[in-house]
Structure 1
Amino acid sequence: MYLNTHSQFSLRYGTMDIKTLLKHAKANGVEQLALTDINNSSGMMEFVRQANQCGIKPIAGMAFHRDKQLLYIGIARNREGFKELNDFLTFHNINNKPLPNKPWDFQNVYVVYPFCGDTNVHLKENEYIGIRHEQLNNIFGKPLAGIKDKLIALNPVTVANKIEYRLHEYLCAIDLNTLLTKVGEHNKCKPGEMFLPVDELREFFSMYPFIISNTEKLMTDCSIKVPEEKSRNKKTFTGSIQGDYERLYELTMQGMLYRFGNNNAKAKKKIDNELQVIRDQGFAPYFLITHDIIMHFMDKGYYHVGRGSGANSTVAYCLRITDVDPLELDLYFERFLNKSRTSPPDFDIDYSWDQREAVQQYIFDKYTPQHTALLGTMSTFKDRSVIREIGKVMGLPQAEIDSFTDKTNSYSHDNNPAYKKIQAIYGYMQNMPNQRSIHAGGVLISEEPITYFTALDMPPKGMPTVQWDMYEAEAIGFEKFDILSQRGIGHIKEAAQLIADNQDKKVDIHAVKQFKEDAVINTRLKTSNSIGCFYIESPAMRQLLSKLRCGNYLTLVAASSIIRPGVAQSGMMQAYIRNFHAPAKVVYLHPVMEEQLRETYGVMVYQEDVIKICIHYAGMDGSDADILRRGMSGKYRSRVEFDKLVDKFFAGAKALGRPDDITAEVWRQVSSFAGYSFSKAHSASFAVESYQSLFLKTYYPREFMVAVLNNYGGFYSRWLYVHELQKAGATVHLPCVNHSESKVNIKGTDAFLGLIGISGFENRYHESIPEERKLNGTFINLEDFIKRTGITLEQCIILIRVGALRFTGNSKKELLWEVHNYLGNKPPSKPGNELFNIPAKKYSLPELVNTNLENAYHELELLGFPLSLTMFDMLKTDYRGDFMAKDMINNIGKTVRMIGNYICEKTVHTKKDTLMWFGTFLDAEGDFFDTTHFPNTTPNYPFRGKGCYLIEGKVVQDFDFPSIEVLRFEKLEIKANPVY
């Protein structure tokens, strides 16, 4: 009887989630129900699953709205009909076309138009008119012979009760971005749009029993059954299951030769075991598709990093999907794939940020748009954003809304009626779906056309995207291909190209095995000289590397794991560092614990450590151990099943003769750590990329730092990477129209900053100026530059002030005088060559000189940092501190005064909920040092942005890493701008 039902997926309109909607339907005697969310099918697969579980027959449908008004409802007769609805909406979404007044000629869909008072209408065989019970008076006494068989009951459901109707009004106001009082009746549902008992609904239509009969007949003819499949992904790569396995075996054997040589029995055994599981689980095409993507783009010179749990696979290592050797690291394949795993695994493949789209497009082109889509995500109403939205529609002043979102003042609003109201609404709205978006990198490749499962959106990114998220994809049976991007790979990719251009050398960035054994690279790692290097350049990571005196790959893998917030905050990072320096003092609970955790000094650093203990201490198999590990991380589906595995752990330990008291303590440690743990394969992938960056920074530091700058840096501000480029021996020049490209370029040891880094300089000139120079030669003088580029006065002044026209030999002040003569009161001319080049008249000017201090101020404004002077040169004082960073280790326990150029700061909440800060600075010699600012000192001596600070504090050390505990702290004044 209910043919127009909305869930929360009717965004900012419906109020019930699928489970609640079905609960209310069941309570009111509903036996068959159509879900018809507005312009989407996000919840349909979930609805079908849950409806079948609770004994309600699900019917698939969709309500099509245009400009917030219902046009018609589509009710799918079957699965093909659901696809037709998805295809129809997809066509209009992808082509950005408004929905038409009449839909397509559907073959398996009933179309229901809302009753508009007209009984003299002509309808197709599959078309009906839906009438609400409150509209029945409008047909009383009218001739109905022409539409008697076409009238059906239409009773929309949008809310659960009267309270939720008020919530619905707030949602509509938020959607319209207007005040609650300005939401018109036509923009919201009727107050009675909720479930009623079926018998009560029948009673409303008792005078027109044929309407009920028509409705039931239509609904009886409709059903949706989704074939039960373990996986929805593309079933084969070669065209047959056997062909896929044979191809995978062949490629893996070729890769094994490349990775391990001819006679590695251990590798062969592990590979054979993995291939058997891959075959049994039907994942051969998943591996082959990923391998095809990797190899296609390797042939094009693209760089990638394969990471995630897929790095546990030796087959993936042989296929060059990852560069992590599972044998070297004793990684467990079961962490990635096992016979009992209920959730599908995936590979995370990182490409450079500017190459990912090409990879995605290749997948779409190869597997066709009908079978390919980006994975969606569902953002929800959360925290302060919800409070802001509610406050806005209530019409509250911005200042009052801001005060409500300040958690530190929340207690002061307890008696504020507006605040109480917002909190009550927030309680209902929190975590409701708000809008659909795109997953960070997931791509789906479906065996069937993907519109059997969802309609597709066309976000600004320009690629079709499913209307549900990764959790729903997993529930349906899709394994996503994660095609991700990061700037670290951009650094590596561009550095390799710059090395080829600048030094005529080709580097093999995948020779990671050699990098890991290179003493020079490992020395750099040990001294934490890693600015610009992926994942190991932050202050916290550099400190950790120093404390560990990290000089090898395995230690770096551990460091990449224990630096993560959960491990660090649990105290396990400190335990690891302490045990690392005193391995003989480590006390192990049991010989098995020593055997399995010796590599990590008794600390469970990785998720794989949890699996190892479950296997070797309690005798569990790898599949059960991984499921138990996932369960302890909160990822179990069934509490009952999880509890059975816990019992299996204790029973297995007892069967192996483990003492009960030790087993209880082992379990406590395992279960308490599992929630913090990080995949060793993830850490190893990070460490591989770190070594690639370290190799480039060690042997090609200038090209590497240019690549870092051109890929928009990393953890730090741009000026620090320019500083590193100078330290690497490059002469860094200000932008110059006769030498600069849009990005930073390097020739020999000369590096020119790019035009793109000049604040306020328009994008159109970034490429056009270098292009004009290449076509018609270098610019001769200011007049020649102006005529050939057609630049405006304002933009030319920016170039003059940043020093980009210094090739003329004139000072900035002279150039500013001249440019006003050329462009002062004239519109810009079109660029081009003149038939007759008449030189401008020369005027005699007084000597106009720019000082380095003036230039530094221009650079601060236009580049964000000075290049003509350092920040130390700009200080009013000549004092540079009593100590330099290199002296700190010899002055532990002493109170010192130092001057540091601010790099960055980090704010941390203490256990007492107070704030403290960690700072990072450069001294006058260009070396780093770090500071700690405790809560009792920071309010008196706060950070005041970039610049140089006088720092007084006590030098302390932690595992030979020195830092300063700040006692007093003050920003120093710089010389005044001579212009003023």
Structure 2
Amino acid sequence: MRGPGFIHLHVHSAFSLLEGAVQLEKILKMAADDAQPALGLADTNNLFGALEFSEKATKKGIQPLIGVELAVDFAAAEERVSERGHVAWSGKSSVVLMAQSEEGFANLSRLVSRAYLEGENGLTRARLDWLTRESLAGMICLSGGPEGAVDMAFAQGQDANALRRLDRLADLFGDRFYIELQRHGRPQEAAVEPRLIDYAYAKGIPLVATNEPFFKSPKEYEAHDALLAIAGGTVLAQTERRKLNDQYYFKTRAEMMELFSDLPEALDSTVEIAQRVAYRPRTRGPILPKFAAGSHDTEEAVVAAEAAALRQIAVEGLDKRLEVVGIAPGKTEQEYRDRLEFELGIIEKMKFPGYFLIVADFIQWSKAHGIPVGPGRGSGAGSLVAYATTITDLDPLRYNLLFERFLNPERVSMPDFDIDFCQDRREEVIDYVQDKYGASQVAQIITFGTLQARAVLRDVGRVLQMPYGQVDRICKLVPANPADPWSIERTMKEVPQFKAMADEDETVGQLVEIAQVLEGLFRHASTHAAGIVIGDRPLQELLPLYRDPRSDMPVTQYNLKWVEPAGLVKFDFLGLKTLTTIRYAVDMVKNRGIEIDIDAIPIEDKDTYDLYARGDTYGIFQFESAGMRRALMELKPDRIEDLIAMNALYRPGPMDNIPSFINRKHGTEDVVYPHPALSEVLDETYGIIVYQEQVMQIAQLLSGYSLGEADMLRRAMGKKIKAEMDNQRIRFREGAGPNGVAEALADEIFDLLAKFANYGFNKSHAAAYAWVSYQTAYLKQHFPHEFYAASMTLDMAQTDKLSDFRREAGKKGIEVVAPCVNRSEVVFSVKQDRIHYGLSAVKGVGRAVAEHIVEVRGREPFKDLGDFARRVDPRVLNKRTLETLVNAGAFDGLVPRREVAFAAMEAVIGTAQAISHERNDGQWNMFDSGEPEPFRLPVGVPAWNSTERADRELAAIGFHLSAHPLDAYADLFEKLRVQRWSDFERAVKDGASAGRLAGTISSRNDRRTRKGTPMMILTLSDQSGTFECIAFSEQINEFGTILQPGVSVILQVGADERAEGISLRLISAEPIEGMADRVDRRLTVFTEDARALGPIGSQLRRGGNGTVSFVVIRDGGAKEYEIELPGKYNLTAEIAGGIKAVDGVTDVRFA
């Protein structure tokens, strides 16, 4: 074969989302295997892979040709010249554009960006009037192939339009226009080809042969067809859908030369085009806005100006820090000055002052505008310059944090501050950055969601029209572990049941085979959760842009891995819920007239450490898990260093050292150091290596590493590259020898460091987050009402957490009262030492409705339902929303009987609508002094029993707030060691596999297993939440008759933790009433009227194991007389409820 013979120009990669079925690496391998000297990438409507492809192709010795298959709206222009009216948008209507030069790539990038940023009706396409000779300079154009603008018009009988399109493209591109021919064996290709050739010969336009591969080989055609069905939301059996054939694979040069042997000039054109391309996108150094210099200054002038500005801000900032906060114990002012000078020298040498100035600017703006900012995150907290410029709020000398862990002078890489902001106001900071630098110079970063094992199995199962239940069972056999995602291939090897299903069922085998081909492909584009890039010019001049349909902010077309090599610097703007919780709590405390500077609270507060020591850390940032609470109760921390260490230790790997850490703190285990000289480094962690910084310090102290070198050592140990590790071992030995460390001991310490470097934690991060945790704990300890109200506000969507917070608050004597249209605010609030349930936390109500109710209420509470109806806007709330509020108890203050209020809501909406119509018609007079027509409540409404009332409240709130059918049995559960669901759920996550629960059955679903045997799914609730339990035939036969909705039961259950949650299976069940009869119980009745004793006695039934006593209260509580009834009684919740309803009875209590 002489010469290349053929060059691919129209290749689709996986970046052609849900269309291309080959990753870039595989495409390049196939090209290299075929000795292809150049390769043209033309993904659909994007340049997502342009830089990655350019770099990787070049490394393989392949010339990258960067193009795009871009949709162009020819039809919009044609409807003005067509006598038959509008020509519909059809097919892709695309052309292939290829960058020929640097100018061409810039123009191509702008054009593709514009198609996203200015695309109409949510479509990514270029308008024809955007295509001018100037905007297309430096580009080569191919006519697009069988799904392109020209071929589609011919195929649809619109020959005139097809010819006009060809003329237009020829005019725009001149000799850079080629008519594209494809031969995949499709009828429309053969039908259109003669007309294309005729036009080419008539106009003197060159032909070019292309293959448009979407997959590797013909055997992957079926999987690709499934991918197209997934993309279109169709199924494989559907005939009216986009469908290719098995020839759209990556052909070799020989195959293409044979295919087009009759048109050698079309083959020659592919080589000619490759030769005409003289540009590829390349990586760049970091590009940042010029923060402290003029836009026309030289680079040297910019660096000098920024260095001077940073130095001034840092020196002045340190002076202020030392004045306000002071010097850390054991440190001197000179140490701070020396450290600052050292850091500034490195920052200036690495030319990063501008980066620090940019970060300091938006953080200082945030703090000036009352937006909470975290004290630090990641290794950035180790910088004194960051502390001095208020980027961080943690003194690195106070906590012995290392600057080199953040910015290593021996490894040039961009610094990376991750900044936490209050999640409610994060967007304000981003808006500020856009305003300061210009919206065109700021963008988010794209990410790509992939077809992971479970997801792709579900997608393929759908297009194969397999039963949902069958696919669901198959998917659940793939272990769900986000930290260690399982592939289908791994599941086939390690899950025998999965493999057996694939081997034994032909359809399942087909499902697995197709899914394996598609697994890992990109499914959709999205945006990075926190990353923002800021440029020194409009970003379209640096890289192509994308727009996420859910945001108005531009997004880079290169992902996080490639946006920085493109020259852009990433800034992380993270939203941290805990900062919002702290702000809410501090603001509520301020409502009481108490001002808290949360950043200046005492760090030695004994009461706060006592909270940690008793494990009272539910809701405390980083310390709320059950396992962590147990560890804290054993550790009994009494200093911030203990919290920092526990934050670092409570992770897989280091967790094994927690028992020794605790024992050594309390003196029950000797503190041992690997070498006596290391006591200086390991003293605060009792001889245990906990932090990555300690690995670095040990290398410095023992073997003479600089901290920069020690950071390189730490990184090498983390990567476990043998050759690098061997070299570092020799260096470590040689450095340790002069310090009196024998070679064997040096090796032993090196191995110990290697072990800990792999999972040791960043101390800077642990310290910053321990301080945030301490702030939340301080609030919980000293201002619990506000802490709980703030925490519940931030967790409104998680009813299990709301239930837990409410229960925990109750144990501390803090009442959480039901929502109320007259007292509640939009979110949870504190009034008169009680927490008022937020209206927007009621299920299905939403913030807009809650805000409307609070707004129209103003300072004047609603007098009754009629007043409420006359003041609300029926366009904002509807009957269903109001009924939910009734069920939640929000109208109890206006109408004590919820069933009556519920029945009245039709009339409430009617009244509201009538008044709204009067206002709109101009008939309503706000000065009318006449009394409004009285609102009449419905009569004869059947009463709700306690179970119905409780179930409705449960549905509205997510847990039982005012009362639960199980409340009357608290004493019984304690005696029988019955767990609450929320406690048992946590116990299962910590390893428990069985337990005893109580619950009221709300529903029962009888089904059949695959084998036809009966099974039952019960939905139950207790005071902490709802849960499900499965019963199989044996248990159904024995307990089925008692397992009925409305019945309260005690269950013995087995439990398993699965990816989708805790699964419970019934072992045994017994009605609570029956069990209550066999347990000694005591009922105490409080009454202010001795005449009530007779009616009370008539409610009692003898025959159980309960005892009854009366407490008669006289003289307003000044005197009490207790009378115990003789005999034993049957005591149930219904009997207690009947007694409580007797006139004169003030309370009824079980004990």
User: Which TM-score tier does this pair reach, normalised by the shorter chain?
Assistant: 0.7 to 0.9
- Read off the aligned partner of 1:286 and give its amino acid letter: Y
Check whether the contact 1:378–1:435 (CA below 8 A) recurs between aligned residues: yes
C-alpha deviations, 1:450-480, integer Å up to 9, x for none?
Answer: 3333332224133222233322234445442
Residue 622 of structure 1 deviates from its aligned partner by 2.1
Give the counterpart of 1:176 among 229, 232, 247.
232
C-alpha distance after superposition, 1:117-137 (max 9, x if no partner): 679541224262432253686
Counterpart residue number, 1:270: 339
1:55 shift after superposition: 2.0
Give 1:762 deviation, angstroms: 5.7
The more displaced of 834-843 and 233-242 is: 834-843
For residue 370 of structure 1, give the secondary structure of its aligned residue in structure 2: helix
2:640 corresponds to: 553
Cα deviation, 1:347-388, whole Å, max 9, x if unaligned, reads: 111112211122222222222233211122222221211222
Answering whether residue 856 of structure 2 is matched by residue 772 of structure 1, we say yes
* Distance in structure 2 (CA, Å) of the matches to 1:194 and 1:70: 23
* Map of 1:316 onto structure 2: 386
1:785 corresponds to which residue? 868
Query: Could you tell me whether the CA contact under 8 Å between 1:738 and 1:778 is conserved in 2?
Result: yes
- Residue 530 (structure 2) aligned to one of 428, 441, 444: 441
In 2 relative to 1, CA 379–627 (structure 1 residues): closer, same or farther, beyond 3 Å?
farther
Paired residue for 2:214, among 155, 158, 161?
A: 158
Per-residue deviation, 1:600: 1.5
Q: Secondary structure at the match of 2:779?
A: helix
The Cα of 1:541 is off from its aligned counterpart by: 2.2
SS in 1 for 2:69: strand
Q: Compared with structure 1, are the counterparts of its residues 807 and 897 closer, same or farther at alpha carbon in structure 2 (3 Å cutoff)? A: closer
Q: CA deviation at 1:269?
A: 1.5
Deviations 1:410-456 (A, max 9, x none): 25424333333333334433323222221121111123543333332
- Is the contact between residue 538 and residue 715 of structure 1 (CA under 8 Å) also seen in structure 2? no
Secondary structure of residue in 2 paired with 1:223: coil
Distance 1:842 1:260, change over 3 A: closer
Q: Distance in 1 between matches of 2:94 and 2:666?
A: 72
The residue that corresponds to 1:830 in the other structure is 916
Distance 1:53 1:795 in 2: 62
Bigger shift: 837-846 or 299-308?
837-846
Kindly indicate whether residue 390 of structure 2 is the aligned counterpart of residue 303 of structure 1. no
Does 1:375 find its partner at 2:445? yes
Deviations 1:475-519 (A, max 9, x none): 44544211111221111111122222x2123221211xx431222
CA distance in 2, matches of 1:370, 1:189: 43
- TM-score using structure 2 length: 0.73
- Structure 2 counterpart of 1:257, from 316, 319, 332: 319
Q: Report the 3-state secondary structure (helix = DSSP H, G, I; strand = E; otherwise coil) of the residue aligned with 1:480.
A: strand
Give the SS at the match of 2:703.
Answer: coil
* Identical counterparts, % of pairs: 26
Question: Cα RMSD between the aligned structures?
Answer: 3.9
- Whole-angstrom distance in 1 between the partners of 2:626 and 2:957: 24
Mark the CA change 1:583 to 1:477 in structure 2 (over 3 Å): closer, same or farther: farther
Counterpart selection for 1:244 from 299, 303, 306: 306
Higher mean displacement: 623-632 or 370-379: 623-632
1:527 equivalent to 2:533? Answer no
Partner of 2:81 in structure 1? none
Larger mean Cα displacement after TM superposition, 330-339 or 720-729 = 720-729
2:792 and 2:802 in contact (8 A); partners too: yes
The equivalences for 1:133-152 within 5 A come to: 134=183, 138=194, 142=198, 144-152=200-208
Give the whole-Å Cα distance in 2 for the aligned partners of 1:386 and 1:848: 52
Alignment partner of 1:230 is 2:285: yes
Change (3 A) 1:904 1:467: farther
Taking the aligned partners of 1:217 and 1:141, their CA distance within structure 2 comes to 19
Which of 73, 79, 91 matches 2:96? 73
Which residue of structure 2 aligns with residue 747 of structure 1? 831
The C-alpha deviation readout for 1:261-313, integer Å capped at 9, x for no partner, is 48611122222111122112222122111111111011111101121111121
Say whether residues 1:481 and 2:571 are aligned partners.
Answer: yes
Q: Are the structure 2 counterparts of residues 448 and 573 from structure 1 closer, same or farther at C-alpha, using a change threshold of 3 Å?
A: farther
- The answer for the alignment partner of 2:707 in structure 1 is 622
Judged with a 3 Å threshold, the aligned counterparts in structure 2 of structure 1 residues 541 and 255 are, in CA distance, closer, same or farther, namely farther
Partner of 1:936: none
1:534-574 superposed Cα distances (whole Å, 9 cap, x missing partner) = 22223222222111101210000011111123432xx2333
Instruction: Evaluate the alpha carbon distance shift between residue 838 and residue 219 of structure 1 in structure 2; reply closer, same or farther with a 3 A threshold.
Output: same
1:146–1:232: structure 2 CA closer, same or farther, 3 Å change rule? farther
1:252-651 superposed matches below 5 A: 252-261=314-323, 264-305=333-374, 306-341=376-411, 343-407=413-477, 409-410=497-498, 412-413=500-501, 414-451=503-540, 452-500=542-590, 502-511=591-600, 514-568=601-655, 571-582=656-667, 585-634=670-719, 641=724, 643-651=726-734
Query: Cα deviation per residue 1:897-929 (whole Å; 9 max; x = unaligned)?
Result: 46657446247799xxx97489999xxxx999x
Partner residue in 1 for 2:181: 132
Question: Structure 1 residues 343 and 405 mapped into 2: Cα distance closer, same or farther (>3 Å)?
Answer: farther
Within the candidate set 757, 761, 770, 1:687 is matched to 770
Aligned position for 2:1093: none
Please give the alpha-carbon distance, in whole angstroms, between the structure 1 residues aligned to 2:627 and 2:735. 41
Indicate which of 132, 140, 150 corresponds to 1:110: 140
When residues 460 and 779 of structure 1 are mapped into structure 2, their CA distance, relative to the original with a 3 A threshold, is: same
**Corresponding residue of 1:864:** 958
- In structure 2, relative to structure 1, the CA distance for the partners of 1:595 and 1:258 (3 Å cut) is same
Measure the CA separation in 2 of the matches of 1:948 and 1:655: 76
Moved more, 156-165 or 850-859: 850-859
Larger Rg: 2
Secondary structure at the residue paired with 1:333?
A: coil
CA contact (8 A) 1:260 1:267 kept: no
Please name the residue that 2:934 is paired with. 840
Q: Is the Cα contact below 8 Å between 2:102 and 2:279 reproduced in 1?
A: yes
- Which of 725-734 and 968-977 deviates more? 968-977
Instruction: Show the 5 A alignment for 1:900-939.
Output: 900=980, 902-903=982-983, 905-906=985-986, 916=993
Contact kept, 8 Å, 1:343 with 1:474, in 2: the verdict is no
* In the alignment, structure 1 residue 48 sits paired with structure 2 residue 42: no
Aligned counterpart in structure 2 of residue 802 of structure 1, from 858, 866, 888:
888
The alpha-carbon deviation at position 101 of structure 1 amounts to: 6.3
Question: Structure 1: how far apart are the matches of 2:718 and 2:942?
Answer: 70
CA distance in 2, matches of 1:847, 1:621: 83
- Per the alignment, in what secondary structure is the counterpart of residue 36 of structure 2? coil
Distance in 2 between residues matched to 1:946 and 1:8, nearest whole Å:
54
User: Unmatched 5+ residue regions in structure 2?
Assistant: 1-6, 73-89, 146-150, 184-188, 295-301, 327-331, 478-494, 999-1021, 1025-1034, 1037-1042, 1054-1066, 1074-1131, 1139-1151
What secondary structure is seen at the aligned counterpart in 2 of 1:515? Answer: coil
Report the equivalent of 2:1087: none
Distance change in 2, residues 1:917/1:76 (3 Å): farther
Q: Is the 8 A contact 2:700 2:707 kept in 1?
A: yes
* Structure 2 counterpart of 1:956: none
1:683 partner SS: helix
Relative contact order higher in (CA < 8 Å, ≥ 6 apart): 1
Counterparts in 2 of 1:846 and 1:378: CA distance versus 1, 3 Å? closer
Distance 1:716 1:726 in 2: 15
CA distance in 2, matches of 1:235, 1:141: 54
Rounded to whole Å, the distance in 2 between the matches of 1:731 and 1:95 is 54
Q: Which moved more, 1:131-140 or 1:260-269?
A: 131-140
Q: Does 1:7 pair with 2:13? A: yes
Equivalent AA in structure 2 for residue 410 of structure 1: F
Deviation at 1:245?
A: 0.9
Task: Give, in whole Å, the separation in 1 of the partners of 2:770 and 2:216.
Answer: 52
Length-normalised TM-score, structure 1 = 0.85
Structure-1 separation of matches of 2:978 and 2:343:
58
Structure 1 972/399 Cα, relative in aligned 2: closer, same or farther at 3 Å? same
State the aligned residue count: 924
User: Residues 52-82 of structure 1, C-alpha deviation per residue, up to 9 Å, x if partnerless?
Assistant: 2222222221112487625111111223322
1:578-627 Cα offsets, whole Å, 9 max, x none, are: 33333761333322444422221232212222222333233332223223
> Helix, strand or coil for the counterpart of 1:684?
helix
Q: Structure 1 residues 429 and 622, CA, compared in 2 at 3 Å: closer, same or farther?
A: farther
Any idea what the Cα deviations from partners look like across 1:87-116, whole Å, max 9, x if unmatched? 223223234423146352222322322252
- Helix, strand or coil at the partner of 2:985: strand
Residue 37 of structure 1 is matched in structure 2 by 43
Runs (5+) with no aligned partner, structure 1: 883-895, 929-938, 954-967
Q: What's the offset of the Cα at 1:769?
A: 1.4
Classify the secondary structure of the residue corresponding to 1:74.
strand
Please tell me whether the aligned partners of residues 386 and 430 of structure 1 are also in contact (alpha carbons under 8 angstroms): yes
